[in-house]
């Protein structure tokens, strides 16, 4: 079945099935959004993460020697998921106004920190892309020093990049979580082709 394989990524054929499912989800969402917002609209909500320094911030310090940079880091906290995305019964399409809401912490380095409250990322703002890379990204633990199972907002990263509670697992099972997490990673500037960059983004908790 797709569900357990999607979460664990243990079997090659299962991962391929998960990739195909995610690609189909991306196509469905993109098609639905094009119809609901006129295809080319880029209007942002007033508290959109796209209008903050978090946008593409990871690209401000790219690797020059093949090793993953340590800074900056982005931590998503108090993530609120739309209620409609927590049911298995609904279709894999999004309304343009369907938003996740959250706070965020930006660590420029070990001493310089910026905090943002009441941010959002709405369906009409999601990058039109495949989010297949999330299946691999979330399956690998964070290397190096971590806080273990203690979920903090930095600067030391957590062992697990995503919360392991039931609500997060349900969101991922419904596939909307994979799409939104992939979009958040893209918004902050994560490069899915540079897979060793494992210490600069995590979601602390759901609200």
Give residue-wise pLDDT tens across range 40-59: 345 566 799 999 999 999 99
Domain that holds residue 71: 2-203
Tens digit of pLDDT for each residue in 191-203?
999 989 999 999 9
pLDDT of residue 9: 34
Cα–Cα distance, 29 to 176 (Å, whole number):
10
CB-based contacts of 171: which residues, under 8 Å, 6+ apart? 81, 85, 86, 177
Tens digit of pLDDT for each residue in 98-134?
999 999 999 999 999 999 999 999 999 999 888 989 9
pLDDT bin (cut points 50, 70, 90) of residue 88 is confident
Q: Give the containing element (helix H, strand E) for 104.
A: strand 99-107
**Domains identified in the chain, total number:** 1
Cα–Cα distance, 171 to 85 (Å, whole number):
7
């Amino acid at each position: 079945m797709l569900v357990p394989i999607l979460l664990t990524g243990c079997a090659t054929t299962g991962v391929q099935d998960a990739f195909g499912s995610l690609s189909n989800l991306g196509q469905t969402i993109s098609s639905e959004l094009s119809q609901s917002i006129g295809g080319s609209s880029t209007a942002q909500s007033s508290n959109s993460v796209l209008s903050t320094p978090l946008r593409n911030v990871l690209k401000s310090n790219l690797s020059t020697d093949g090793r993953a940079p340590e800074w900056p880091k982005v931590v998503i906290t108090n993530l609120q998921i739309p209620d409609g995305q927590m049911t298995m019964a609904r279709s894999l399409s999004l309304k343009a106004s369907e938003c996740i809401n959250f706070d965020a912490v930006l660590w420029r380095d070990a001493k310089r920190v910026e905090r943002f409250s009441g941010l959002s990322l709405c369906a009409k703002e999601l990058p039109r892309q495949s989010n297949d890379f999330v299946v691999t990204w979330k399956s690998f633990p964070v290397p190096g020093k971590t806080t273990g199972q203690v979920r903090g907002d930095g600067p030391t990263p957590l062992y697990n990049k995503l919360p392991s509670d039931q609500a997060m697992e349900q969101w991922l099972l419904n596939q909307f979580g994979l799409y939104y997490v992939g979009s958040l990673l893209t918004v902050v500037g994560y490069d899915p082709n540079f897979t060793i960059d494992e210490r600069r983004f995590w979601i602390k908790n759901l609200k």
